[in-house]
Structure 1
Amino acid sequence: MTKFIGTGVALITPFKSDLSIDFDALERLVEHNIENGTEYLVISGTTGESVTVTSEEKKALIKFIAKVNKGRLPLVLGIGGNNTSAIIEEIKTTDLSDISAILSVSPYYSKPTQEGIYQHFKAVAEVSPLPIILYNVPGRTSSNMLPETTIRLANDFENIIAVKEAGNNVHQYLELLRTKPDDFLILSGDDDLALGVALAGGSGVISVIGQALPKEFTEMIRLGIAGKAKEAYEIHFKLMPITGLIFSENNPAGIKAVLEALNISNSHVRLPLVEATDKLKNDIKLALAELAKS
């Protein structure tokens, strides 16, 4: 449980100009996060463009990141979707020897009822050899996993240990914090709300901007968990402009533009996503310059 308190980052998948995976950039990104305080790494999440990464590429990403990481940080792997039987099969056939937990998104597109969501995760929990972090992101799935469904799952399955809540809904966060079992983790999936969630009793965040600015972001979250609001908000206010910019067009185009400006990777994305506009790239460079002065 303590492995996932603090800041996890949803790693991008860097691409070369021919859109093959840029493993050199990925190594720089992993080392950048390990060296600057990130608590754990998330592979093949939404920010990793998981829907346009092939199954063979996904295996290669897992193997490569585990090799670079060398056991230094816990690794979380995204295995989710709207085909329950396919998810079960992927869990059964994936080499999970280097993985500490599975991040599983609530079923998208199909728009199941709350009972359907419960039965989906029940089936997943019953076959998973690893702890499961639920992932609720209604803006992408078109289906909101309500707090009562999350808490029902938390109470019924010991290996469902946390939820990454990304509904951008303060009331829903507070309801989860109010009703959760003592040992269940509420993780923010909204970078802009992460500090408030931590101060209210949350256990941390799975962040997008954190992978670019891990030193600042992890310190902010640690201060928030410790209840040091004044110090934490000083960092939060400095990060607000860049955090807002990365989501202004699409994710991960925004964070890839930041990482390009930091000379860690480039800004290539796979269709149907397109790169950040020149205007956004310029705005990001200006925001990073201002942040460096503060």
Structure 2
Amino acid sequence: MREALAPGVWGVVATPFQGSTLDLDTDSLARLVEHYESIGATGLTVLGVFGEAAALTAAERSLALEVVVEETRLPLVVGVTSLFTGTAVEEIRAAQAVAGDRLAAVMVQANSARPEVVIAHLNAIHQSTGAKVVLQDYPVASGVGISTEALIYVVQACKFVVAVKAEARRPVWPSLNCRPPSTSRCSAGWEVKGCWTSWWLAPPAP
């Protein structure tokens, strides 16, 4: 049976910087995390595209995650910057070492337009780390465009995918055969939550 992320609002955490050298601003990061928890966020998404993860060194990513873990007990989805399986596994293991059982899932970008390539990538990641996956479709950041049909095919093949975060330049809802309110249901049976440009797909309740 497929698991899903806990329902509710998952705050997307920005990574603040300071000074002319753009050092990581850990105090501001801590306050942001505290704010999300104070307003009732279900969990946090850390080191995603909005979190500037691709611009951070491995040491900076680790430090940012350490700050988040110290400031909150909320479950975490941690972004993975690499499109390559080996380095993605290294990033995930580093996140697991810091977050431990607080790691609800890792957010992995689709690395190919070909669903069989994405499936092989995700299977290798899951087999190596045991991590649950939020599959991210963000062609502006990844440079990879994948059709909605291919995305659904990947999810159906990978039972450890607990959500999909779709931020495609095209509206995804026509291909999903659903209307674009804040919550709808697509033809694959998944619940679609979000706005016109960013969507979370959650598997149906058992």
Scaled to the shorter chain, the TM-score interval is 0.7 to 0.9
Tell me, in whole angstroms, the C-alpha distance in 1 between the residues paired with 2:149 and 2:127: 20
Q: CA deviation at 1:179?
A: 3.7
Tell me, in whole angstroms, the C-alpha distance in 1 between the residues paired with 2:6 and 2:132: 11
141-150 or 21-30, which deviates more? 141-150
Q: CA deviation at 1:142?
A: 3.0
Normalised by the length of structure 1, the TM-score is 0.57
Q: CA deviation at 1:85?
A: 1.6
Counterpart of 1:11?
13
Tell me, in whole angstroms, the C-alpha distance in 1 between the residues paired with 2:62 and 2:118: 27
Tell me, in whole angstroms, the C-alpha distance in 1 between the residues paired with 2:8 and 2:68: 20
Structure 2 portions without partners, runs of 5+: 179-183
Q: CA deviation at 1:3?
A: 4.2
Q: CA deviation at 1:86?
A: 1.2
Specify the SS of the correspondent of 1:47: coil
Structure that is richer in helix per residue:
1
1:171 paired residue among 164, 169, 174: 174
Q: CA deviation at 1:164?
A: 0.4
Compared with structure 1, are the counterparts of its residues 93 and 68 closer, same or farther at alpha carbon in structure 2 (3 Å cutoff)? Answer: closer
Counterpart of 2:78?
77
Compared with structure 1, are the counterparts of its residues 14 and 43 closer, same or farther at alpha carbon in structure 2 (3 Å cutoff)? Answer: same
Give the conservation status (yes or no) of the 8 Å contact 1:105–1:136: yes
Tell me, in whole angstroms, the C-alpha distance in 2 between the residues paired with 1:130 and 1:83: 16
Counterpart of 2:181?
none
Structure 1 portions without partners, runs of 5+: 204-294
Compared with structure 1, are the counterparts of its residues 150 and 192 closer, same or farther at alpha carbon in structure 2 (3 Å cutoff)? Answer: closer
Q: CA deviation at 1:186?
A: 4.3
Give the conservation status (yes or no) of the 8 Å contact 1:118–1:149: no
Compared with structure 1, are the counterparts of its residues 115 and 177 closer, same or farther at alpha carbon in structure 2 (3 Å cutoff)? Answer: farther
Counterpart of 1:100?
104
Give the conservation status (yes or no) of the 8 Å contact 1:84–1:124: yes
Counterpart of 2:136?
135
Counterpart of 1:157?
158
Higher relative CO (CA 8 A, sep ≥ 6), structure 1 or 2? 1
Q: Are 2:58 and 1:50 equivalent residues in the alignment?
A: no
Tell me, in whole angstroms, the C-alpha distance in 1 between the residues paired with 2:126 and 2:187: 21
Q: CA deviation at 1:140?
A: 2.6
Counterpart of 1:87?
88
2:40 paired residue among 29, 37, 53: 37
Q: CA deviation at 1:105?
A: 1.3
| Matched-pair identity in % | 21
Structure that is richer in strand per residue:
2
Specify the SS of the correspondent of 1:82: coil
Specify the SS of the correspondent of 1:77: strand
Counterpart of 1:275?
none
Give the conservation status (yes or no) of the 8 Å contact 1:165–1:187: no
Give the letter aligned to residue 16 of structure 1: Q
Give the letter aligned to residue 39 of structure 1: T
Q: CA deviation at 1:192?
A: 4.4
Counterpart of 1:117?
118
Counterpart of 1:147?
148
Q: CA deviation at 1:49?
A: 0.7
Compared with structure 1, are the counterparts of its residues 27 and 92 closer, same or farther at alpha carbon in structure 2 (3 Å cutoff)? Answer: closer
Tell me, in whole angstroms, the C-alpha distance in 2 between the residues paired with 1:158 and 1:35: 33
Q: CA deviation at 1:112?
A: 4.8
Count of residue correspondences:
189
Compared with structure 1, are the counterparts of its residues 31 and 93 closer, same or farther at alpha carbon in structure 2 (3 Å cutoff)? Answer: closer
Give the conservation status (yes or no) of the 8 Å contact 1:151–1:179: no
Give the letter aligned to residue 9 of structure 1: G
Give the letter aligned to residue 31 of structure 2: R
Normalised by the length of structure 2, the TM-score is 0.78
Q: CA deviation at 1:159?
A: 1.2
Specify the SS of the correspondent of 2:174: helix
Q: Are 2:64 and 1:64 equivalent residues in the alignment?
A: no
Give the letter aligned to residue 122 of structure 2: F
